[in-house]
């Protein structure tokens, strides 16, 4: 993974505070000691997760993942990178009752595995999803098979989900107490669905370990400093623009990671995700000609000569000369470079991340770097990267309205 900054002079454009070295040392310490990152060094735990998942996988044709937010988005981001999406894994993070019922009602409980994930064991959405399946199984007099086919990931403590799993002999794996939901990508939360999808999870951990083996964290510091200490621009938005359909759910995962971590005490920067080339036709006008309050990151890859070849004869007949003897990948690559060069020519400050290939190792590195840069930004903004106090009020009121 290569990172490059354009049109920004870190000596002139960034005014660092006197205590910057202290802040940077704090960030290094947090990242080095962070259980969410250090878990990639625990080879035995990963082997155990692989062993238990493969055992659970036996005699099952389909898998359903119940979980919301961090219990869902990380795994989806990893699986989304596969060109051929697995048709036997269904994710449910929302509770739209009509869509949920339509998808769930006809599942064969005898051949479907249910992965139920909630760190606290009290997440209402996840409990309602699992409870709905329990009700269907009860009506079909098939509860024993449902629980036999259920794998629960939660903290090992007294909670509704833990108690249900324990009482009914579900396969039970521990959600580490010291790893928050949105930081749980490298734990069993992200790895179990990835294993079921056929991804090489050891390569994911390898990529993550490479991201923080360099003690400098230089690019991580630089990126985070732009939002807090840039004197030439007041950035209000952190726009991630990805050019691969395989990174669609990475964008969703990143937005949760960034938003829940930095948005506190009336401080923070709004994370936005744009998809090239689609959003070049819907958002690019605003980005280029609107207020200059957004910092952009372009995540690109090499698409030269990839994909289907465009028919030369019909292009020639219509004088579309630039598409003659080209592939769709050539067009994608050209649009990617053209957009980036347009930002460059118009003196926008931005960052490019080049992934030569979008594979397990690259995703491990990208996601670990994203975690570290989010933590760095939070330290600069003097907010706790690991809590989310504002969302608790809504949870309390939801339970009140149902009572």
At 193-245, the pLDDT tens digits run: 999 999 999 999 999 999 877 666 778 899 999 999 999 899 999 999 999 99
pTM over 0.85, yes/no: yes
Helix axes 392-402, 124-139, angle to 10 degrees: 40
User: Is 267 within the bounds of a domain?
Assistant: yes
Single residue among 172, 199, 226 that ends a domain in this structure: 199
Same-domain pairing of 190 and 255 = no
Question: What is the side-by-side strand order in the sheet with 2-6?
Answer: 2-6, 350-354, 294-300, 237-242, 270-275
Query: Region 358-362: what's the mean pLDDT?
Result: 97
Residues paired with 90 in a beta bridge: 64
User: Is 403 within the bounds of a domain?
Assistant: no
Under DSSP, the state recorded for 175 is -
Same-domain pairing of 330 and 213 = yes
Same-domain pairing of 298 and 355 = yes
Reduced to 3 states (helix: H, G, I; strand: E, B; else coil), residue 273 is: strand
pLDDT, the chain, mean: 95
pLDDT(385) > 90: yes
Query: Region 259-277: what's the mean pLDDT?
Result: 95
Same-domain pairing of 234 and 364 = yes
Single residue among 199, 232, 253 that ends a domain in this structure: 199
CA–CA distance, 10 with 97 (Å, rounded to integer):
50
Q: Write the pLDDT tens digit of every residue in 173-191.
A: 999 999 999 999 999 999 9
Query: Region 15-22: what's the mean pLDDT?
Result: 96
Cα angle: 317, vertex 321, 323; to 5 degrees: 100
In sequence order, which residues have a C-beta less than 8 Å from that of residue 275 and are 6 or more positions away? 241, 242, 243, 245, 248, 251
Percent of the chain surpassing pLDDT 70? 99
pLDDT(108) > 80: yes
Number of domains in the chain: 2
Cα separation values, 125 from 50, 94, 397, Å: 27, 7, 14
133 alpha carbon, distance to own chain's centre: 27
Single residue among 136, 165, 199 that ends a domain in this structure: 199
Same-domain pairing of 345 and 232 = yes
Same-domain pairing of 24 and 105 = no
Same-domain pairing of 359 and 236 = yes
Write down the pLDDT at residue 215: 65
Q: Write the pLDDT tens digit of every residue in 135-147.
A: 999 999 999 999 9
Percent of the chain surpassing pLDDT 90? 90
- Pick from 285, 269, 273, 283: nearest CA to 229: 269
**CB 362, CB 237: distance < 8 Å:** no
Same-domain pairing of 27 and 43 = no
Same-domain pairing of 180 and 122 = yes
β-strands 112-117, 89-92: how paired? Answer: unpaired
Omega cis (within 30) before 121? no
Same-domain pairing of 115 and 187 = yes
User: Is 43 within the bounds of a domain?
Assistant: yes
CA–CA distance, 384 with 237 (Å, rounded to integer):
19
Domain of residue 307: give its range. 2-33+206-389
User: Is 218 within the bounds of a domain?
Assistant: yes
CATH number, domain of 233, equals 3.40.50.10490
- Residue 64 token pair: 């359903």
Burial class (CB in 10 A: 0-12, 13-18, 19+), 206: middle
β-strands 171-174, 112-117: how paired? Answer: unpaired
Same-domain pairing of 109 and 43 = yes
CA–CA distance, 9 with 19 (Å, rounded to integer):
20
pLDDT(265) > 80: yes
User: Is 395 within the bounds of a domain?
Assistant: no
Same-domain pairing of 172 and 246 = no
User: Is 383 within the bounds of a domain?
Assistant: yes
User: Is 270 within the bounds of a domain?
Assistant: yes
Q: From start to end of 263-398, where are the E strands?
A: 270-275, 294-300, 350-354
**Least confident among 147-161, 364-378, 379-393:** 379-393
User: Is 70 within the bounds of a domain?
Assistant: yes
């Amino acid at each position: 993974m290569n990172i490059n900054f354009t049109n920004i002079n870190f000596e002139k454009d960034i005014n660092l505070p006197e205590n910057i070295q202290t802040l940077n040392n704090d960030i290094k310490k947090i990242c080095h000691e962070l259980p969410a990152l250090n878990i990639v060094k625990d080879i035995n735990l990963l082997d155990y997760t692989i062993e238990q998942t493969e055992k659970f996988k036996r005699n099952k044709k389909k898998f359903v993942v119940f979980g919301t937010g961090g219990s869902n988005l990380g795994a989806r981001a990893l699986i989304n990178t596969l060109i051929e999406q697995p048709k036997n894994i269904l994710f449910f993070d929302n509770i739209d009752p009509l869509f949920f019922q339509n998808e769930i009602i006809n599942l064969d409980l005898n051949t479907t595995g249910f992965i139920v994930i909630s760190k606290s064991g009290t997440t209402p959405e996840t409990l309602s999803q699992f409870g709905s399946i329990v009700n269907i199984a009860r009506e079909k007099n098939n509860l024993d098979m449902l629980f036999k086919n259920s794998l629960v990931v939660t903290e090992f403590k007294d909670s509704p989900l833990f108690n249900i799993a324990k009482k009914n002999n579900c396969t039970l794996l521990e959600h580490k107490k010291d790893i928050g939901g949105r930081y749980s990508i490298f734990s069993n939360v992200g790895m179990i669905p990835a294993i079921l999808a056929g991804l090489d999870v050891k390569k994911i951990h390898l990529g993550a370990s490479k991201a923080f083996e360099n003690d400098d964290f230089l690019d991580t510091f630089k990126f985070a400093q732009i939002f807090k200490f840039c004197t030439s621009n007041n950035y209000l938005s952190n726009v991630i623009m990805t050019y691969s359909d395989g990174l669609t759910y990475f964008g969703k995962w990143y937005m949760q990671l960034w938003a829940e971590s930095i948005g506190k005490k009336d401080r923070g920067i709004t994370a936005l995700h744009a998809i090239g080339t689609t959003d070049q036709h819907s958002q690019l006008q605003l980005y280029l000609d609107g207020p200059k309050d957004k910092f952009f990151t372009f995540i690109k890859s090499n698409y030269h000569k990839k994909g289907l070849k465009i028919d030369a004869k019909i292009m020639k007949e219509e004088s579309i000369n630039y598409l003659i003897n080209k592939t769709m990948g050539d067009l994608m690559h050209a649009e990617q470079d053209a957009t980036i060069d347009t930002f460059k020519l118009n003196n926008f400050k931005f960052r490019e991340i080049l992934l030569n290939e979008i594979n397990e190792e690259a995703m491990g590195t990208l996601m670990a770097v994203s975690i570290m840069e989010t933590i760095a930004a939070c330290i600069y903004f003097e907010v706790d990267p690991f809590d989310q106090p504002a969302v608790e009020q809504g949870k309390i009121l939801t339970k009140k309205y149902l009572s």
